[in-house]
């Protein structure tokens, strides 16, 4: 047998990779997929193959240095999707980056390390239906801990005392390092203080399931080297040398599942996966799965692969010449995002951001980073998750509640009722975050200016979109339509939230750091002008979910609570596409916990084979 990392350009080993059989094939070596593969391969009697379209990036400084996050956008490790023109957002197509590498989007993200609210997990249980109780916060906490290798915060150069709740954290030998950057920009401290002056509570720890308030967040980062932790560095690099039952195949883009001629009862049986070897003239190749195929290609490409394989809505598949294997209209439906808008403020010259970093300041930052210190160790840091009562007036809260009840043909009534209950149970509706660089509408800010960007991102959008293929060509991106601003609640919240960010910048301690507003600028004052700003600038917080939802089949669900795709006997989905309702958090930690739980369920189901 051959094992370990193998690229399809490896002419010597590829034929053996193809000849070998595998109990489990994991499609997508991203955030969730590598956690699944690592845990499955702990059983020495099971053989595991990962098929990943991208390649290893362990030596890429654009990935490993925390403050470099964003520098790899639009490069060859970014799928660089764009949405369909958004009708309610002035027909704009919005850029959606996704990681194309081992590690997937864990190698492209901004490292924020937080967990969902307990109420969010209760909503997931309620939507997923019978047999879903093990998705509750209480049960999932063991998987959150199992996936985490946590280091508590210490003081830093601003003298800020950061606090946490140690009992909710894990110290796994193989798991994601989560730690706090030693550096803290003074303007971030100003943002934190500003929110406190507006009576926002402090959240002790954004990982304790009770998240509401402002906090200094942890990052997915090694506590000593201060390099980014991806699912590759956390789950595969430390174990791969001894795992003779694991192959991680890169430059391999899956194009469809293949099906066995015999069914298992009324369910179809996957026999393997076709893929193109992107490092080998795009030749189409095939690998066989003895037990299961696990789809971990993410919220955009998992539904794409299901549809290419004949699993989906016949009215979408058949006109493209794809025969229906399983009639499952929920595939690609129920898309939810965390859409956001950004207010950009110029900093006074005394304050350092990541803008225009060159010359001596850059050399200093690089030198400090080599010692695990300084500006480059810091990514997102101050995050605030707020319910309406923390930033809306009483009248606005009443208006928001009334708007949340507005029917939406694309939003099932059961989901809408659950979302309203979830907000009432205290799940924050908006995340506010400060970004240490220009993050506005142009490619970059002005030369010789420094900025702090203040983003407001809605966590529970009442709009529903979809992701569907529009061609049978597997190498063409699917059509992504998040239907931004489809529901009036979303517009109301985003407009008020952006106005709140201006207030923090102008009326609190943060104002001491600021020389003026760059975007939207003083021309935007009235409610109508703010709403137009939202239409003109709405973008993604990069958190799409829901396109293979864990819900009953009759309610357009795609997977059951054990993550098996309805109508199949041996295809599961393990990534963020399974979430039926969105959660109020940065979701990478939940993706890891889903991976841990998926692996535990799969191994439990195959104890005897
Ligand atoms: C720019 C950005 C910033 C973000 N910031 C944060 C943050 O700060 N904190 C946080 O918690 N979350 C953040 N997120 C979100 C988080 O990173 C993602 O939600 C999460 O990583 C998704 O995990 P996943 O396993 O579902 O998908 P992914 O990690 O995207 O994995 C999918 C994998 O499948 C591969 N793949 C796709 N199609 C195929 C195919 N056909 N064949 C083979 N391989 C395929 C992809 O290349 C990829 O490796 C951010 C995301 C982005 C993009």
- Per the domain annotation, does 499 fall within a domain? yes
What is the extent of the structural domain holding 164?
156-227+336-540
Q: What is the pLDDT of residues 115-125, one digit of tens each?
A: 999 999 999 99
Q: Which atom of ligand 1 is nearest to the CA of 297?
A: 34
DSSP state of 286: E
Cα of 107 from ligand 1 centre, angstroms: 8
Hey, which bits of 70-204 come out as E strands? 81-82, 95-96, 112-113, 148-150, 176-179
Q: Is 412 labelled as part of a ligand binding site?
A: no
Token digits of residue 370: 């080599």
Specify the ligand 1 atom closest to the Cα of 304: 41
Of 25, 26, 27, 28, best ligand 1 pocket probe by most atoms within 8 Å of the beta carbon: 28
Q: Tell the residue nearest (CA) to atom 21 of ligand 1.
A: 105
Per DSSP, what are the bridge partners of residue 219? 112, 179
Q: Is residue 184 situated within a structural domain?
A: yes
Residue nearest to atom 35 of ligand 1 (CA): 28
Question: Residue 404's domain is classified under what CATH number?
Answer: 3.30.560.10
Residue 66 lies in a domain: no
Query: Residue 44, SS3?
Result: coil
Contacts of 417 (CB under 8 A, 6+ apart): none
488 located within any domain: yes
How far apart CA 12 and CA 5 sit, in angstroms, is: 13
Q: State residue 280's pLDDT score.
A: 80
Question: For residue 57, with 0-12 CB atoms within 10 Å meaning exposed, 13-18 middle and 19 or more buried, which class applies?
Answer: buried
Compute the distance from residue 98 Cα to the ligand 1 centre, in Å.
Answer: 6
Determine whether the annotation assigns residue 428 to a binding site: no
Residue 486 near residue 463, CB atoms below 8 Å: yes
10 Å CB burial of residue 476 (0-12, 13-18, 19+) is exposed
Which ranges of 482-605 does DSSP label H, i.e. alpha helix? 488-507, 527-537, 588-605
**What residue's CA is closest to ligand 1, atom 49?**
104
What residues line ligand 1, using a CB cutoff of 6 Å? 27-33, 51-54, 97-100, 104-106, 108-112, 253-254, 296-299, 301, 305, 380, 542-543, 575-576, 586-588, 591
Give the Å distance between the CA of 105 and the centre of ligand 1: 3
CA 337–ligand 1 middle distance (angstroms)? 13
Domain count along the chain: 1
List the residue whose alpha carbon is closest to atom 4 of ligand 1. Answer: 109
Q: Which positions are catalytic?
A: 543, 586
CA angle 38, 44, 605 (to 5 degrees): 75
For a pocket test of ligand 1, which of 26, 30, 231, 549 has the largest count of ligand atoms closer than 8 A to its C-beta? 30
Distance CA 52, CA 32 (A): 12
- How confident is the model at residue 156, as a pLDDT? 75
CA distances from 379 to 8, 161, 229, 433, 434 (A): 34, 18, 13, 11, 10
Pocket test for ligand 1, best of 298, 382, 591, 595 (most atoms within 8 A of CB): 298
Please say whether the beta carbons of 372 and 224 come within 8 A: yes
- Residue 609: predicted pLDDT: 55
Structure token pair of residue 498: 């952006």
| Percentage, residues of the chain above pLDDT 70 | 100
Long-range contacts (CB closer than 8 Å, 24 or more residues apart) made by 132-138: 132/550, 132/561, 134/561, 134/597, 135/550, 135/561, 135/597, 137/209
Nearest CA to ligand 1 atom 37: 297
Angle, CA 384 vertex, CA 235 and CA 466 arms, to 5°: 65
Q: In a mutational test of the pocket of ligand 1, which residue from 8, 29, 31 has the highest number of ligand atoms less than 8 Å from its CB?
A: 31
Give the chain's length.
Answer: 609
The alpha carbon of 579 and the centre of ligand 1 are apart by a number of angstroms equal to: 14
- Per the domain annotation, does 571 fall within a domain? no
Straight-line distance from the first to the last Cα atom of the chain, in angstroms, rounded to the nearest whole number: 20
Evaluate whether 14 touches 283 at the Cβ level (below 8 Å): no
Cα(499)–Cα(360) distance, integer angstroms? 37
Residue closest by Cα to atom 47 of ligand 1: 100
31 part of a folded domain: no
Q: Residue 155's pLDDT is what?
A: 76
355 falls within a domain: yes
Atom of ligand 1 lying closest to residue 111 CA: 8
Amino acid 282: pLDDT: 85
Q: Is residue 251 part of a domain?
A: no
Q: How far is the CA of 79 from the centre of ligand 1 (A)?
A: 10
Considering only CA atoms, which residue is closest to atom 48 of ligand 1? 104
For ligand 1, the distance from its centroid to the CA atom of residue 541, given in whole angstroms, is: 12
Cα(78) to ligand 1 centroid in Å equals: 10
The pLDDT, as a whole number, for residue 121 is 97
pLDDT-flagged residues of the chain (< 70): 609
Q: Which atom of ligand 1 is nearest to the CA of 380?
A: 8
**103 CA closest ligand 1 atom index:** 49
Report which protein residue has its CA nearest ligand 1's atom 24. 298
> pTM of the entire structure?
0.98
The atom number, within ligand 1, closest to the CA of 305 reads: 41
């Amino acid at each position: 047998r051959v094992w370990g990392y193998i690229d399809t350009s490896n002419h010597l080993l590829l034929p053996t990779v193809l000849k070998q059989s595998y109990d489990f094939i994991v499609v997508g070596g991203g955030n969730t997929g590598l956690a699944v593969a690592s845990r499955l391969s702990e059983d020495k009697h099971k053989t595991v193959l990962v098929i990943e379209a991208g390649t290893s990036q362990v030596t890429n400084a654009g990935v490993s240095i925390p403050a470099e996050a964003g520098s790899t956008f639009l490069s060859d490790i970014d799928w660089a999707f764009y949405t369909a023109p958004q009708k309610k957002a002035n027909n704009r197509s919005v850029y959606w980056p996704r990681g194309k590498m081992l590690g997937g989007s864990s190698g492209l993200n901004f490292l924020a390390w937080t967990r969902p609210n307990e109420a969010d997990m209760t909503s997931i249980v309620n939507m997923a239906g019978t047999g879903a109780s093990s998705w509750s916060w209480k049960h999932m906490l063991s998987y959150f801990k199992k996936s985490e290798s946590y280091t508590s915060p210490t003081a830093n150069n601003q003298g800020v005392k950061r606090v946490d709740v140690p009992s909710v954290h894990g110290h796994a030998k193989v798991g994601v390092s989560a730690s706090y950057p030693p550096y803290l920009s003074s303007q971030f401290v100003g943002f934190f203080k500003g929110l406190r002056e507006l009576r926002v509570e402090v959240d002790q720890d954004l990982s304790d399931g009770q998240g509401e308030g402002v906090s200094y967040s942890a990052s997915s980062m090694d506590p000593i080297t201060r390099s980014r932790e991806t699912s590759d560095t956390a789950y595969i690099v430390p174990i791969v040398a001894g795992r003779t039952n694991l192959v991680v195949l890169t430059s391999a883009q899956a194009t469809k599942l293949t099906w066995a001629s015999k069914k298992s009862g009324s369910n179809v049986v996957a026999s393997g996966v076709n893929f193109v070897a992107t490092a080998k003239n795009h030749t189409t190749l095939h690998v066989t799965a003895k037990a299961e195929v696990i789809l971990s290609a993410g919220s955009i490409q998992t539904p794409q692969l299901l549809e290419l394989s004949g699993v989906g809505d016949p009215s979408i598949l058949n006109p493209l010449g794809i025969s229906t294997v399983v009639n499952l209209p929920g595939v690609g439906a129920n898309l939810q995002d965390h859409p956001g808008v950004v207010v950009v403020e110029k900093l006074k010259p005394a304050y350092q951001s990541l803008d225009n970093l060159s010359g001596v300041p850059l050399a200093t930052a690089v030198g400090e980073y080599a010692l695990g210190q300084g500006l480059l160790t810091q990514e997102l840091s101050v995050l605030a998750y707020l319910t309406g009562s923390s930033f809306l007036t009483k009248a606005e809260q009443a208006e928001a509640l009334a708007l949340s009840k507005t029917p939406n043909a694309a939003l099932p009534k059961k989901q809408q009722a659950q979302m309203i209950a979830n907000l009432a149970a205290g799940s924050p509706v908006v995340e506010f975050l400060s970004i240490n660089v220009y993050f506005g509408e142009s490619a970059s800010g002005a030369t010789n200016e420094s900025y702090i960007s203040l983003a407001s991102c809605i966590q529970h959008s009442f709009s529903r979109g979809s992701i569907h293929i529009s061609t049978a060509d597997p190498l063409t991106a699917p059509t992504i339509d998040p239907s931004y601003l489809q529901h009036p609640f979303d517009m109301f919240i985003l407009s008020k939230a952006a106005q709140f960010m201006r207030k923090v910048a102008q009326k609190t301690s943060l104002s001491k750091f600021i020389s003026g507003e760059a975007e939207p600028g003083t021309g935007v004052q009235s409610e109508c002008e703010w709403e137009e700003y939202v239409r003109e600038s709405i973008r993604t917080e990069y958190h799409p979910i829901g396109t293979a939802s864990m819900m009953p089949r009759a309610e357009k669900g795609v997977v059951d609570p054990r993550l098996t795709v309805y109508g199949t006997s041996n295809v599961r989905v393990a990534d963020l596409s399974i979430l039926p309702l969105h959660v109020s958090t940065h979701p990478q930690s939940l993706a890891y916990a889903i991976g841990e739980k998926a692996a535990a369920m799969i191994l439990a189901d195959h104890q005897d084979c």
